[in-house]
Amino acid sequence: MSLVRCVKLELLFLVICIPVKRGGNSPGTIYLFIIFNVLLCFRSRNDVQTCTSWKAPIIWEGMFTPSHYDQIHRNKGSSVALTVFAVGRYLDAYLETFLNSSEQHFMSSLPVTYYVFTDSPELVPNIKLAPNRHLKVIEVERHTRWQDISMMRMKAISDVIESDIRHHATHVFCFDVDQVFTGRFGPEALGDSVALLHAHYYHLPRMLFTYDHNPKSKAFMKTGDFYYHAAIFGGSWRSVKALTEACYRSIMADKENEVEALWHDESHLNKYFWLHKPSRVLSPEYCWDTSIGYRKSTFSEVPNKVKPKHEVCY
């Protein structure tokens, strides 16, 4: 283990005292205390990109000490709302496994409220929740096409943030239900605006990113920074509300023009993060598809945070 990693990961704060002369005729000096947050060690993973061009961290395993983030967010009083849609066959096939695995691994040190959006509230499984964990069921309309379900979730999330979440949670994370948590997904992932790098595109050249190239669509992009996965996104409730409202407006504008973005809400999400850069980016480790295989030369060998239960067609 490198010296940089050993030192920076174990120091919570570094305080430097700088002598500054007093102004006017006052003798002596005062000391300016500068506190540097060194919770993240960017040089501990020299095999991958750990910072974006706009200086947002890209979070990889090995860059942080988990207990530091747990303690800081407990002290701050952070709490998290998790939204997930389980409509039609997705409820029976995936919801129970998703919730049980979340109880084991998702933000276990913080209060969490699950917001389950479904067309069959009576079929939501009765999950045993840990203290300070709650589950709310919200009935939604079932659309004929899964594409419409995927796109309309943006409005549903925005509405529930306005009516409920903003009064009870500091942060929101939005997940696809056909996934399972297999390792810690903790407060190190929290930020004002959080995006996830798509595992299938991380190693591809930018020219192969499947942005929407139709100029008639509001999701139209010639290029971008990364390709983001809509299976997981989050941030403060204000930022997630702004994101979902913007994506919904773009989706509705496309409908009026009889246009549909290539990858539906994911295309609009990528356009939004191109215009409004995320303040925190999660590495592909946070949602790894094992059908891709394991690349030990590139990714750490720790368990994945979340993995799809089947190969998701994005």
59-92 pLDDT tens trace: 999 999 999 999 999 999 999 999 999 999 999 9
Q: How many CA atoms lie within 13 A of 30 on its CB side?
A: 6
Domain that residue 92 falls in: 47-308
* Percent of the chain scoring above 90 in pLDDT: 70
173 contacts: CB under 8 Å, gap ≥ 6: 80, 81, 82, 83, 189, 194, 232, 233, 234
Under a CB-based contact definition with an 8 Å cutoff, are residues 181 and 106 in contact?
yes
pLDDT at 32 over 80: no
The string of pLDDT tens digits covering residues 215-269 is: 999 999 999 999 999 999 999 999 999 999 999 999 999 999 999 999 989 999 9
Any domain includes 34? no
Q: When comparing pLDDT for 304 and 72, which is higher?
A: 72
Under a CB-based contact definition with an 8 Å cutoff, are residues 268 and 251 in contact?
yes
Output phi, psi for 7, to 5 deg.
-75, -50
- Count of domains forming the chain: 1
The pLDDT of residue 144 is: 66
Any domain includes 91? yes
Under a CB-based contact definition with an 8 Å cutoff, are residues 228 and 273 in contact?
yes
Q: What is the 3-state secondary structure (H, E, C) of 96-134?
A: HHHHHHHHHHECCCCCEEEEEEECCHHHCCCCCCCCCEE
Indicate which residues carry an active-site annotation: 266
pLDDT at 147 over 70: no
The answer on whether 105 is annotated among ligand-binding residues is no
Any domain includes 42? no
Nearest to 290 by CA among 278, 306, 275, 279: 306
Any domain includes 114? yes
Any domain includes 18? no
The pLDDT of residue 27 is: 47
The answer on whether 70 is annotated among ligand-binding residues is no
Under a CB-based contact definition with an 8 Å cutoff, are residues 157 and 151 in contact?
no
What's the angle, vertex CA 264, arms to CA 227 and CA 248, rounded to 5?
A: 105
Of 49-63, 143-157, 274-288, the one with minimum mean pLDDT is 143-157
Any domain includes 16? no
Confidence of residue 142 (pLDDT cuts 50, 70, 90): confident
Q: When comparing pLDDT for 75 and 146, which is higher?
A: 75
Confidence of residue 292 (pLDDT cuts 50, 70, 90): confident
Cβ neighbours of 186 (radius 10 Å): 20
Burial 141-154 (b: 16+ CB within 10 A, else e): eeeeeeebbbbbbb
The answer on whether 85 is annotated among ligand-binding residues is yes
Q: How many CA atoms lie within 13 A of 90 on its CB side?
A: 23
pLDDT at 297 over 60: no
CA–CA dist 192, 240 (Å, integer): 9
The answer on whether 210 is annotated among ligand-binding residues is yes
Q: When comparing pLDDT for 9 and 148, which is higher?
A: 148
The answer on whether 176 is annotated among ligand-binding residues is yes
Handedness of CA 67, 72, 74, 78 (dihedral sign): negative
The answer on whether 180 is annotated among ligand-binding residues is no
Nearest to 153 by CA among 170, 123, 179, 175: 175
Any domain includes 32? no
pLDDT at 107 over 70: yes
Confidence of residue 304 (pLDDT cuts 50, 70, 90): low
Helices assigned H by DSSP within the chain: 3-10, 66-76, 89-90, 96-105, 146-160, 166-168, 237-256, 265-275
Of 28-32, 100-104, 166-170, 228-232, the one with minimum mean pLDDT is 28-32
| Tokens (6 digits) for 40 | 């993240």
Secondary structure class of 262 (helix, strand, coil): coil
The answer on whether 20 is annotated among ligand-binding residues is no
CATH number of the structural domain spanning residue 67: 3.90.550.10
* Percent of the chain scoring above 70 in pLDDT: 79
For 273-291, what is the mean pLDDT? Answer: 94
Nearest to 188 by CA among 72, 23, 301, 20: 72
The pLDDT of residue 16 is: 37
The answer on whether 289 is annotated among ligand-binding residues is yes
Strand pairing report for 133-139 and 112-118: parallel
What's the angle, vertex CA 224, arms to CA 198 and CA 150, rounded to 5?
A: 50
The pLDDT of residue 33 is: 36
The pLDDT of residue 298 is: 41
Any domain includes 15? no
The pLDDT of residue 64 is: 93
